[in-house]
């Protein structure tokens, strides 16, 4: 009697598929949290020029970037070769999910930028000249640095997660083939 063998691709590709799904969920959650940090003070009636309300999104971006870098230091980084092929490998596994994950990955920096612009606009149009000047001199450059810090961390984390998943898929493939030979 012939027993059908399950398609091993499903098990081999599972780490990459899970990594793509995690990127989508994480990216959407990050955008919602950052935009919520901008809109929540307004919904609670905090003045739009309140410096504390402006510090929350900036602090979140800096904290997010720091968290990613600490996580990378603890977990280690995949090889540059794996990192360079991470998105290509994901696209080979599932083009549609890879496209969606890449789209969401790209929306995170845009969400960060929108949040910072919405946070800074009331300060840049403040009727008090000294406050406006301070925001142009300190707030805008500080926001740009926080944005770059968070975005570079996010993009590195996405590529690292996909590279680790590709490495896991490769290990599963090797185990499968060694099991067939053995």
Domain boundaries, the chain: 15-27+49-171
pLDDT at position 61 over 90? no
154 confidence band (pLDDT: 50, 70, 90): very high
Lowest mean pLDDT among 80-84, 97-101, 122-126: 122-126
Report how far residue 117's alpha carbon sits from residue 104's, in angstroms, rounded to the nearest whole number: 20
Burial class (CB in 10 A: 0-12, 13-18, 19+), 47: exposed
Token code pair at residue 147: 């944005």
Residue 83: CB partners within 8 Å, gap ≥ 6?
77, 159, 160, 163
The pTM of this model reads 0.83
pLDDT at position 49 over 60? no
3 confidence band (pLDDT: 50, 70, 90): very low
Tens of pLDDT, residues 118-140: 888 888 888 888 888 888 888 88
pLDDT of amino acid 153:
94
* Average per-residue pLDDT for the chain: 86
Instruction: Identify the top-confidence range among 6-10, 34-38, 130-134, 164-168.
Output: 164-168
């Amino acid at each position: 009697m012939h027993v059908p063998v399950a398609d091993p691709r499903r098990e081999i590709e599972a780490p990459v598929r899970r990594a793509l799904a995690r990127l989508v969920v994480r990216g959407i959650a990050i955008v919602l949290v950052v935009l919520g940090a901008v809109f929540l003070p307004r919904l609670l009636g905090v003045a739009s020029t309140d410096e504390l309300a402006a510090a929350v999104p900036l602090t979140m971006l800096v904290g997010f970037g720091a968290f990613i870098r600490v996580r990378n230091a603890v977990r280690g980084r995949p090889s540059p070769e794996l990192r360079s092929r991470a998105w290509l490998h994901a696209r080979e596994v599932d083009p549609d999910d890879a496209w969606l994950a890449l789209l969401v990955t790209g929306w995170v920096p845009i969400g960060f930028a929108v949040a910072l612009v919405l946070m800074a606009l009331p300060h840049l149009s403040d009727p008090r000249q000294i406050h406006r000047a301070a925001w142009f001199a300190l707030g805008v450059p500080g926001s740009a640095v926080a944005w770059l810090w968070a975005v570079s961390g996010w993009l590195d984390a996405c590529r690292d997660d996909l590279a680790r998943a590709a490495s896991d898929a490769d290990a599963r493939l090797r185990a499968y083939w060694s099991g067939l030979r053995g």
